[in-house]
Structure 1
């Protein structure tokens, strides 16, 4: 990594540290409505991942660009969801060039060409968003968002040395990462957690009982309530253990040759950590294939967190290359899952089966998107 790239990475870490406070204040704003909350009097059939991706994209857009991207319904939201799906599924395709680099110039399977087309579509969207953001800079005086702060940091740097200059390409890459990592991965975890609770109604009932006791039914769940909801936190941890959104870690490379548990690892070997397998290791987890949130409330797993401090549960990775947005990711999942479970009753539509198959790729969403009948369960004033 060059010095410039390292400093840019440090800048992103600083930005990520701001995220928790920003998300907290954003979630308490009455303008922040979970997509279903706009229809408190209706019982309806919804696509859970569509609702989650729109909601997360709107929060990331507001934090990053001071812009709510999508209305509750619309073609733009559908196109965005399609692009996210294509990026994640395309990036996870088997590509022989990854294992035989000499073949990369031939693109034998057409994977590189497919990904270039997808990224061009995403680039057009991000370029349009950044152009609009620049044109409205005066409207945010005193209320800078992430991009404003990032550009201010760039302007404050000594730009005499071109090697130290952070370009708009870097900014685009940052926005791209925020939208892909900040929406798809969080929505996958929340969808799996919801599916597991619908499969196990007693878990759903226990989570709702906890929130009714702590929050009541007269208002919505606030982000500040989550700290007092240990069972909700346990549900999120269990979803991250059993259904990590990224089954394999980002690639690591061995800087030097080394020996690990009797195996010789040559220099520059690409290494992938199987996060999915770690979470299902019978040597660590009792009944590892069962969804049991209570395992995190007592016993040996009670002190285990999901933030990289315990190697038996590393949904965000671990070490120096851990996901810098891990805290924001936890807030996203816990808060939105809590809002959904607290505000609505959930059931499978009549005549439909709850499919729990996984779709393998760069991420691991449900093979069949979760559809559910939702019914409001709070006082009408709570949805206002």
Structure 2
């Protein structure tokens, strides 16, 4: 890529051999003057090089987002997915029209992060914080796209400073520090001292382990990585289900047999709902929220199967390429949950095991595996199981010549740091008479 050497990994074995078995060599991040030194002041976590600072921050992040911590907060996450179902039910009942559910999923994902980080939630998309965060993310995601890093590929461009980019990076940095600085002050001024992630991080400041800018950029990483990914996954899976009513039928049958009509599924039901679990794994494979993982970087030469991998190479995990490989998945273009039926292990467990047993690569690989994987898996289970318990999802696209809705085109996507399907329309049809009672009266 220009003068930058890119190594593209599009095989499960090579990912295992390099990113997992040789993780010490392949766990850094590409250096970038604008975005690491200027934008984050070297304080970020997701894009932090694999150095002493990263090794200091990793245990703090993993403690906050550990499986144990997620279990402790499961009631908060559970309540937000009940509210999501209530909102979708009210919207579909009041308008009796089709909808694009993206904003509902985004609000839920953001609410979970604000609840965990601040111990408060957002009422709706008209909330000032929601609008401020949405505007910030739009600007931020546009700024970090690869076309703004041309000087990495063509070093001669460094002789011609990009003043607009520089000023945009400074603007973005101010937005980050203003937005999350206000949240930190809100936690500091909370007389009830409610427990939350920010308060836990501020304790690290008191201990001299972190400073307040560290807290700002750690929270920025949690908000940025923890909102769009899950909501994008749910938006994709909803479209895939609308295209495949027979898969919904099987899921409805399983839910009726295991859960019945008197309550919503909860986290403890996950082992008893293998088909729901298979739908989620297939959704992450077939239409995950990212096509290429966050870039890895090697700072020393390496040799692999006759290939010379030079130092200072960018190493890309091609998730989409692996997920669409016929060598790994039979008929990969088909949405087929049955390929994962009977797999009991979580994606977090499988990601640390043999590559032959891996379900998908949606959460990355190696030492930089997504730190929020446990929370994401719980959210996806509650989201998918409850959507299917409450509703039949109908494709509301225009009709074709024989009177059937045109399938939602899942080949088309809006590409960026997170991948979204093109806007579509579906209807959420109440499945049984107890839906309203369970959602609104409990």
TM, length-normalised to structure 1 = 0.86
Map 1:34-45 → 2, pairs under 5 A: 34=84, 35-37=87-89, 41-42=93-94, 43-45=96-98
Cα displacement (A) at 1:223:
2.3
8 Å Cα contact 2:81-2:383 kept in structure 1: no
Cα displacement (A) at 1:71:
2.0
Cα displacement (A) at 1:371:
2.9
Distance (Å, rounded) in 2 between the aligned partners of 1:151 and 1:374: 43
Aligned position for 2:13: none
8 Å Cα contact 2:62-2:371 kept in structure 1: yes
Are 1:7 and 2:63 an aligned pair?
A: no
Cα displacement (A) at 1:214:
1.5
User: What SS does structure 2 have at the residue aligned with 1:47?
Assistant: coil
Count of residue pairs brought into register by the alignment: 370
Q: Is there any run of 5+ residues in structure 2 with no aligned partner, and where? A: 1-49, 400-405
Once the two structures are superposed, residues 288-344 of structure 1 have per-residue CA deviations (whole angstroms, 9 ceiling, x without a partner) of 11110100015xxx4775332354522111211111111111111121122222212
Distance (Å, rounded) in 2 between the aligned partners of 1:46 and 1:75: 23
Distance (Å, rounded) in 2 between the aligned partners of 1:324 and 1:85: 23
8 Å Cα contact 2:414-2:420 kept in structure 1: yes
Q: Is there any run of 5+ residues in structure 1 with no aligned partner, and where? A: 160-164
Aligned position for 1:214: 258
Aligned position for 1:162: none
Are 1:337 and 2:384 an aligned pair?
A: yes
User: What SS does structure 2 have at the residue aligned with 1:277?
Assistant: helix
Cα displacement (A) at 1:228:
1.7
Q: 2:395 aligns with which of 339, 345, 348?
A: 348
Aligned position for 2:103: 50
Once the two structures are superposed, residues 159-212 of structure 1 have per-residue CA deviations (whole angstroms, 9 ceiling, x without a partner) of 3xxxxx411111111211111111101111111111111011111222222222
Q: 2:419 aligns with which of 335, 342, 364?
A: 364
Cα displacement (A) at 1:9:
2.0
TM, length-normalised to structure 2 = 0.76
Distance (Å, rounded) in 2 between the aligned partners of 1:30 and 1:257: 48
Aligned position for 2:335: 291
From the superposition, tell whether residues 329 and 199 of structure 1 become closer, same or farther in structure 2 (CA, over 3 Å). Answer: same
From the superposition, tell whether residues 28 and 317 of structure 1 become closer, same or farther in structure 2 (CA, over 3 Å). Answer: closer
Aligned position for 2:347: 306
User: What SS does structure 1 have at the residue aligned with 2:308?
Assistant: strand
Deviates more, 1:172-181 or 1:74-83: 74-83
Deviates more, 1:302-311 or 1:48-57: 302-311
Map 1:162-241 → 2, pairs under 5 A: 165-241=209-285
Aligned position for 2:312: 268
